[in-house]
Amino acid sequence: MVKSYHPVSLQEALAIRAREAVTPYAGGTDLMIKGDEKAGYLFLNNLSELKKITEDGEYIRIGAACTFTAIQESELAPAILKAAVSQIAAPAIRNLGTVGGNICNGSPKADSALVFWATDSKLRLVSSRGERVIPISEFYLGRNKTSLQADELLAEILMPKIGLNNYYYKKVGARNALAISRVSFAGILEIEGGRIVNCQTAFGAISEVVIRRPDLDAMLSGKTIEEAKKAVKEEYLRAYDQAILPIRGRISAEYRKVVCMNLLRDFLESNGI
Cβ atoms < 10 Å from Cβ of 162: 12
- pLDDT (mean) for 131-153: 96
At 270, the amino acid letter reads: S
Determine the Cα–Cα distance for residues 206 and 67; give it in Å rounded to an integer.
Answer: 26
Of 218, 256, 264, 220, residue with least CA distance to 240: 264
- pLDDT (mean) for 241-246: 95
pTM of the entire predicted model: 0.93
List, for residues 98-107, the tens digit of each pLDDT value.
Answer: 999 999 999 9
List, for residues 54-84, the tens digit of each pLDDT value.
Answer: 999 999 999 999 999 999 999 999 999 999 9
Query: Which domains are present in the chain?
Result: 47-160 (3.30.465.10), 167-270 (3.30.390.50)
8-state DSSP, 211 = B
CA distances (Å), 107 to each of 137, 181, 231, 253, 267, in order? 13, 11, 36, 18, 24
Which pLDDT score, from 0 to 100, does residue 30 have?
A: 76
Residue 234 has, within 13 A of its CA and on its CB side, a CA count of 2
Determine the Cα–Cα distance for residues 252 and 259; give it in Å rounded to an integer.
Answer: 11
* Cβ contact 154:125 at 8 Å: yes
